[in-house]
Structure 1
Amino acid sequence: MKVESLGLTGVYLITPDRFDDARGHFSESWNAATLDQHGITLNFVQDNQSYSRKVGTVRGLHYQAPPYAQDKLVRVVQGAIFDVAVDVRQGSVAYGQWAGAELSAENGRQILVPKGFLHGFVTRAPDTIVLYKTSAPYMAEADGAVAFDCPDLAIPWGIAAGDAVLSARDAAAPRTADWHSPFSCTDIERDAA
């Protein structure tokens, strides 16, 4: 398993080894002992799956506020996405910075998005299925979103904002200038201890 930092604290690109034979391939998508060697120690409690019919479907930028904040491990089992994590920890020197990568069923890569980050993706292929593990269960009262196309973030989604396929919730999400982050570096560090 290859583990690479994407340049923001706690955001990793994880590429499992694939073992090919005449039947296809096998890979180990999560191994706590292996990732512990890289300083990644998480207890995942829920798996989620999304299916998006159309290219240009945007899901995000989402978060779950403390005390229900979630770490996420995101992978694609069918299709392809451009996946993004945005640092929104108050007091972080990287506040407002983002990291992203292309994830696909073909490349097998995964992104680890830690607590204190917004998360979102845009589909690059039709009929895309995304799976993600979370370190806390879903809590509706802590669920939130920020507009994916905030000019302050300048994320190159590869589509015009008007062409994005959005949920009503994501279409109504506030821009960062009109939003107050519920995360702080101190809270995240305390949770990690």
Structure 2
Amino acid sequence: MKVTETSLNDCYLIEPTVFGDSRGFFMESFNQKRFNELTNTNFSFVQDNHSRSGKGVLRGLHYQIKNSQGKLVRVTRGEVFDVAVDLRKSSPTFGKWFGCILSETNKFQLWVPPGFAHGFVVLSESAEFLYKASDYYAPEFERCISWNDSTLKIDWPLSFEPVLSEKDKKGTEFKSAEVYE
């Protein structure tokens, strides 16, 4: 497993070791001890989530203002552009974003720590998106920042109008969003 620091504090791109031959491949998708050692964290995961979305679906930018979830995300089918936004006021990368391609081909994972907003857009015909969460989903604390916020200026690789949920259409502007101290 190779861990690479991103441009955001505490957010890591993880490349698992993949063993493949004519029969297919094998990889260890998660190992708690190795994850904690390589990311210098002490998180454990309490919930696994799995979503399937069609091309052009954009989910996010979601976060929980309390019971903040760290997320270890990956794609098992298809391809997405995945985004993390640092919402921790005390962080030197507060208000900055990082984006990368996660796909069934590259098998990369992204560690999005607590205190970050997260979102993705599906670039392939469909995508299966899996993530481990460090805290339970708490809808009463869930918040959403607009995917096309003029302050964040996320460079989504879009040549089409994204498909949004009603909740995501109502995302707030970053400058008025609740953030972490």
Q: The TM-score by the shorter chain falls in which range?
A: over 0.9
- What is the CA–CA distance in structure 2 between the aligned matches of 1:36 and 1:11, rounded to whole Å? 13
Whether the 8 Å contact between 1:6 and 1:100 is mirrored in structure 2 is no
Root mean square deviation of aligned Cα: 1.3
> How do residues 3-14 of structure 1 correspond to structure 2 at under 5 angstroms?
3-14=3-14
1:119 and 2:118 aligned: yes
**Matched residue, 1:188:** none
Whether the 8 Å contact between 1:32 and 1:41 is mirrored in structure 2 is no
The percent identity for this pair of structures is 41
- Displacement of 1:153 in angstroms is 0.5
**Matched residue, 2:89:** 90
1:170 and 2:168 aligned: yes
**TM value normalised by structure 2:** 0.95
- What is the CA–CA distance in structure 2 between the aligned matches of 1:109 and 1:103, rounded to whole Å? 6
- Displacement of 1:102 in angstroms is 0.5
- Displacement of 1:10 in angstroms is 1.1
Secondary structure of 1:34's aligned partner: helix
Paired residue type of 2:36: D
- Displacement of 1:93 in angstroms is 2.2
**Matched residue, 1:31:** 31
Give deviations 1:49-108, integer Å, cap 9, x for gaps.
11112x221100000122x11100000000001111101112322111011110000100
**Matched residue, 2:136:** 137
- Displacement of 1:176 in angstroms is 1.1
Instruction: Give the number of equivalent residue pairs.
Output: 180
Paired residue type of 1:168: E
> How do residues 14-163 of structure 1 correspond to structure 2 at under 5 angstroms?
14-38=14-38, 39-53=40-54, 55-66=55-66, 68-159=67-158, 163=161
Whether the 8 Å contact between 2:65 and 2:178 is mirrored in structure 1 is no
Secondary structure of 1:37's aligned partner: helix
Paired residue type of 1:176: F
**Matched residue, 1:191:** none
- Displacement of 1:178 in angstroms is 2.7
